[in-house]
Amino acid sequence: MLKAGTHRKALGARRYNYKIQMMRYREELQELDGLEKQWNDLQRKVAISESNYKLYLSKFEEARISESMDRQKISNIGVIERAVPVMEAIKPRKLLNILLGCLLGLSVGICVVFFLEFISPVFRTHEDVQQFLDLPVLAAIPKDERLRSRLS
């Protein structure tokens, strides 16, 4: 029994030591997590700084080359292919253009008139009223001014 008690105390002490060790490991793990975040931030800043440096370096090089070319009066623009003049002049066909313009204008005008007449909501005859309302027409007002004056 004495052995079991001492063995139990030894196991308890070991357990206590393991708990303390586990707490230390957790603290180290938390510290490492924080350090990892800092490391990632620093890596990102380094990458951004490198890309900015490369950009500034290339812009500086372009400016240096441009300044050098300006000093030497060299232009970075060149003729790729010379223009070739046409041998015979192109003359407009005035009569054909006028006829086509008149024909096109007339046909567009007629199409517009038909379209406007088609979408117009006006009744023109008593047959239109009768057909649309499906009712008989009892009276109609004449269009002629002489007939209107007689009826008044």
- Give the predicted TM-score (pTM) of the model: 0.35
**What is the domain partition of the chain in residue ranges?**
1-74, 96-141
Integer angstrom CA distances of residue 52 from 2, 33, 40, 59, 65? 74, 29, 18, 10, 20
Q: Write the pLDDT tens digit of every residue in 5-57.
A: 888 888 898 999 999 999 999 999 999 999 999 999 999 999 999 999 999 99
Q: Write the pLDDT tens digit of every residue in 89-121.
A: 788 899 999 999 999 999 999 999 999 988 888
